[in-house]
Structure 1
Amino acid sequence: MRIQLLSCIMMAANGALSAQGAPPLAAGPMVGATEMREVRLWTQTTRPAVVDVVYWDSTSPGKRFHTNSVQTRAHTGHVALMVADSVQPGTTYLYDLRIDGVAVSRPYPTRFRTPTLWQFRTDPPPLRIAIGSCLYINDAQYDRPGVPYGSDYGILTSIAAARPDIMLWLGDNTYLREADWYTRTGVLHRYSHTRAVPELQPLLAAASNYATWDDHDFGPNDSDGSFRERLLTREIFELFWPSSRYGADGGGSVTSTFEWQDVQVFLTDNRWYRNAQGRRTGDARYLGRQQIEWLIDALRGSRAPFKFVVVGGQVINSSATFENYATYAEERAFLLQRLADEKIPGVIFLSGDKHWTELSVMPREGTYPLHDLTVSSLTAGTSNGWTTEDNRFRVDGTVLQAHNFGLLDVSGPRNDRVLTISIRDKDGAERWTRRIAASELR
């Protein structure tokens, strides 16, 4: 009921603005990559406009700061990317979006919080990360005939109500349709159409949003590095998901990493270097050696007790079916062996793609078991494919074939951190939970 009421208030507010001459706001504002001293902010207008953000420490509202001003243009989808660079660590800021000098009020909180400078001072603060994948928003003109594939958009309001510090998008964050694949007009339309859904706006405005992609936001279903327009979709992905740095592995990928409190997240790209599934000659690439070598170096250098490695598709699932990493058996074995040889503690894989949720745990001789938490889907149709897929590492009682999201809560003193996984349904009700101590991953 609370979720439905908030949605109704938002629609009523938008209707009232339209009647009074609404500002040219298409979507946002959104909080993007967040560091101790800089925060990236995003919004999209419906026409060319000058956009900036005014922000202030929630405890000192009298002192206001301003981001850079951005002129939005049609060629870049009327998107504005701004930087708040007068921030301090561990501080909550409130903010107002301004379009053409006029403040745009939103019927939900607009805030961001910077990571705490805890090192050499105190125990790391608790951290809450929301995770999800497969966000399909119906668009009748371009959808396949029949029953709409997307539903339960209210799940996005449920995620916002959980007040995560971070929203981690695991791939298929939009679904490019056949009419979208090969033109700038089409790709911009698809990303814009998904971003504008009303139920999404509160989550964008108050959590720091990070993303990687999978096939549907990269190109066609099951697409690989041969996709003709991958340079275009990479450009638009970067435009809509403002990160501190993409291409962290030195290539053209959307690979990135960030730290928050004592947690580090590694967002890999399972499309850019990938070659065709089932190819009979040459090396079978999924992540590619360049990206794997970067990942091993980055993991080896990380001091985080929990190192979340995000991959669009499942890594630990033993079944060589669909788009599981097991279908690229040689490269998968190489990565898993490198992780074992390097004795890297704290690694947990996060994946999406499957249209059902499950936890896979692979025992390893002489070291800790590897976990792969798959969370899918948010609004796209669900699948019963798990009933025919022989994943021998699946943990009993963790399959959920319904729209859902995950919460990752990291808490406890510095030398005894604990991860609590909670899988929630579309209404925010907990469906299952697991607790993993950092000491179990050494």
Structure 2
Amino acid sequence: MRPFRAGLLFALIVALGSAARADDPKVLTRIAFGSCVDQDKPVPIFGAIAAAKPDLLLLLGDNMYADLDRKVKVTPEVIREKYAQMAKVPGFAKLKATCPMLGTWDDHDYGKNDAGAEWEHKDAAQKEFHDFFETPADSPRRAQKGVYHAEIYGPPGKRVQVIMLDTRYFRSPLKKGPFDAKLRTAPYLPNTDADATLLGTEQWKWLETQLKKPAELRLLVSSIQVISDEHPFEKWATFPKEREKLYALLKSTGASGVMILSGDRHLADISVDPTAIGYPLYDVTSSGFNQSSKNWRAPELNSKRVGGMPHGDNFGFITIDWTDNPRVSVQICDEDGDTTCGFKVRLATLKGTGTAATTAPVGPKPPEGVLTPAEAAKKAGETVKVQFMVQSIGGKANLYLNSDKDFRAKDNFAVVVPVKVQKGALAKGDIEKLVGATIRVTGKVETNKQGSATLEVADEKAFEIVKE
């Protein structure tokens, strides 16, 4: 069955004008993703992706290959040249003209097979990465170490958060075992050193901050597989403590709607771990755009696989139905745009049932005379002082600091920050840093149309951040 019908060029041009941006409230409903493209070979699958008319294309790594010619030493100049070749691939140029893209890297566009923090040209490679993806010259991401970044698309209730991890820049050395004749390779062994890392300290801190931001669907992009752990190649399982840390972080932040997208493996795989984080955690692997085996081959061992495509070029496609009880459909498609496997899941399913996922941290206990949100909600029409830990933030003109991760929850208490008060810690560009902070605010309690309690900040003197 073919889920997509090729559109006319006119339709693709129209798509450019309506394409979603991170600062655009337009709702995302169609997202394509994939990895692994050799710039020296034809890439017919780009035509199928364009015909699917995605709102957004996610490039999961190996967005070109800088190191295929073993006779050529990889230098920053070589990396730049390979990106330039990729930019000229006809299908890619057409996609770029009609669809916004986000990307991260894997080893081959990083510059060296299976390389990590030791790669001598990693900073130069990062510059070339940003030039290729046209990161603005004044973007803080150009000064940052590593290419990790995140965006949130869409309005409250229909937000898609895309978190692009960098599994290369900070990664500790791999440990290799002896050659295995049966596997026809020397498998990578688990690195259990106390200081072994995949993401590095700063990226871990950043990831925790991102996971605390409000979103309905979170696409967590890792260039290498997270769940599949029985093959002998690179994967999160080669750093078992890091994978445990990731699962623990997803649970402790109460992040709902998480779905992992990965690449690298030159095949397509759909894995699911039903117990790792308190709700089904999917890892959807799409690889590669033109690097997959063209001949039949048996699936490799993966006891958590629920679907896959062990041979043939492929891309992934996500369709989101935002109507009542939103549903996410995920498909793996071949170079003709035909669906080979997939699944559907309700967003309501991607929520934990354990304490960590349902009970948000509450912060320090309010002192005498200061109310909790539940207490303040009973004081409609009265001026009170209320204290709580900010769980989420929303709004466009007026901003809202919410006591609940779900701003629509009946018992959510919202502190309203009008435009005139948006300065200092409450400035629009900095206010997201308050997620996880405990605030104390004085003002008059009101009840909104939904029956939830609100309190508007009259001036900066009525607001304070509680030091724990």
TM exceeds 0.5? Answer: yes
How do 1:29-428 residues align onto structure 2 when only pairs under 5 Å count? 111=17, 113-115=19-21, 125-138=27-40, 150-151=41-42, 153-177=43-67, 178=70, 182-243=74-135, 251-261=144-154, 262-278=159-175, 283-301=195-213, 303-319=214-230, 321-364=232-275, 367-382=278-293, 387=298, 389-395=300-306, 397-413=307-323, 416-428=325-337
State the distance in 2 between where 1:417 and 1:199 align: 33
State the distance in 2 between where 1:323 and 1:383 align: 22
Check whether the contact 2:309–2:340 (CA below 8 A) recurs between aligned residues.
Answer: no
State the distance in 2 between where 1:366 and 1:270 align: 21
Which is bigger in relative contact order (C-alpha 8 A, separation at least 6)? Answer: 1
| Structure possessing the higher radius of gyration over alpha carbons | 2
Check whether the contact 1:312–1:352 (CA below 8 A) recurs between aligned residues.
Answer: yes
Cα deviation for residue 251 of structure 1 reads: 4.4
Write the deviation string for residues 376-415 of structure 1: whole angstroms up to 9, x where unpaired. Answer: 11101439999574322111x43342101111111223x6
- Shift of the 365–327 alpha-carbon distance from structure 1 to 2, 3 Å rule, reads closer
Cα deviation for residue 234 of structure 1 reads: 0.4
- Shift of the 238–366 alpha-carbon distance from structure 1 to 2, 3 Å rule, reads closer
Counterpart secondary structure, 2:86: helix
Cα deviation for residue 364 of structure 1 reads: 1.2
Q: Which amino acid aligns with 2:274?
A: P
- Shift of the 112–427 alpha-carbon distance from structure 1 to 2, 3 Å rule, reads same
Q: Which amino acid aligns with 2:174?
A: Q
Cα deviation for residue 116 of structure 1 reads: 9.6
Check whether the contact 2:267–2:292 (CA below 8 A) recurs between aligned residues.
Answer: no
Check whether the contact 2:48–2:335 (CA below 8 A) recurs between aligned residues.
Answer: yes
For 1:15, the equivalent position in structure 2 comes to none
- Shift of the 170–404 alpha-carbon distance from structure 1 to 2, 3 Å rule, reads same
- Shift of the 116–172 alpha-carbon distance from structure 1 to 2, 3 Å rule, reads closer
- Unpaired runs of 5+ in structure 2? 1-5, 176-190, 352-468
Count of equivalent residues: 323
Check whether the contact 2:12–2:98 (CA below 8 A) recurs between aligned residues.
Answer: no
Cα deviation for residue 243 of structure 1 reads: 4.0
Instruction: Please say which of residues 429-438 and 386-395 is displaced more in the overlay.
Output: 386-395
Check whether the contact 1:130–1:168 (CA below 8 A) recurs between aligned residues.
Answer: yes
Q: Which amino acid aligns with 1:398?
A: G
Counterpart secondary structure, 1:398: strand
Q: Which amino acid aligns with 1:127?
A: T
Write the deviation string for residues 175-230 of structure 1: whole angstroms up to 9, x where unpaired. Answer: 01246654332111111112211122211110001100000000111011111111
Counterpart secondary structure, 1:355: coil
Write the deviation string for residues 116-151 of structure 1: whole angstroms up to 9, x where unpaired. Answer: 9897xxxx745211101001122xxxxxxxxxxx45
Check whether the contact 1:316–1:393 (CA below 8 A) recurs between aligned residues.
Answer: yes
Check whether the contact 2:151–2:161 (CA below 8 A) recurs between aligned residues.
Answer: yes
Identity %: 29
State the distance in 2 between where 1:270 and 1:189 align: 23
State the distance in 1 between where 2:228 and 2:72 align: 31
What root-mean-square deviation, in Å, do the aligned CA atoms of Structure 1 and Structure 2 show? 3.2
Check whether the contact 2:289–2:314 (CA below 8 A) recurs between aligned residues.
Answer: yes
Q: Which amino acid aligns with 1:277?
A: L
- Shift of the 437–249 alpha-carbon distance from structure 1 to 2, 3 Å rule, reads farther
- Shift of the 353–285 alpha-carbon distance from structure 1 to 2, 3 Å rule, reads same
For 2:369, the equivalent position in structure 1 comes to none
Check whether the contact 1:93–1:112 (CA below 8 A) recurs between aligned residues.
Answer: no
State the distance in 1 between where 2:204 and 2:295 align: 31
Counterpart secondary structure, 2:308: coil
Write the deviation string for residues 287-326 of structure 1: whole angstroms up to 9, x where unpaired. Answer: 223212211221122x211100101000111326210110
- Unpaired runs of 5+ in structure 1? 1-5, 11-57, 59-91, 96-108, 139-149
Check whether the contact 1:264–1:306 (CA below 8 A) recurs between aligned residues.
Answer: yes
Counterpart secondary structure, 2:328: strand
Counterpart secondary structure, 1:368: coil
- Shift of the 441–291 alpha-carbon distance from structure 1 to 2, 3 Å rule, reads same
- Shift of the 136–93 alpha-carbon distance from structure 1 to 2, 3 Å rule, reads closer
Counterpart secondary structure, 2:50: helix
- Shift of the 253–436 alpha-carbon distance from structure 1 to 2, 3 Å rule, reads same
Check whether the contact 1:170–1:310 (CA below 8 A) recurs between aligned residues.
Answer: yes
Moved over 3 A (4+): 92-95, 109-112, 114-119, 178-182, 243-251, 279-282, 383-390
Check whether the contact 1:173–1:213 (CA below 8 A) recurs between aligned residues.
Answer: yes
Counterpart secondary structure, 2:249: helix
State the distance in 2 between where 1:182 and 1:117 align: 37
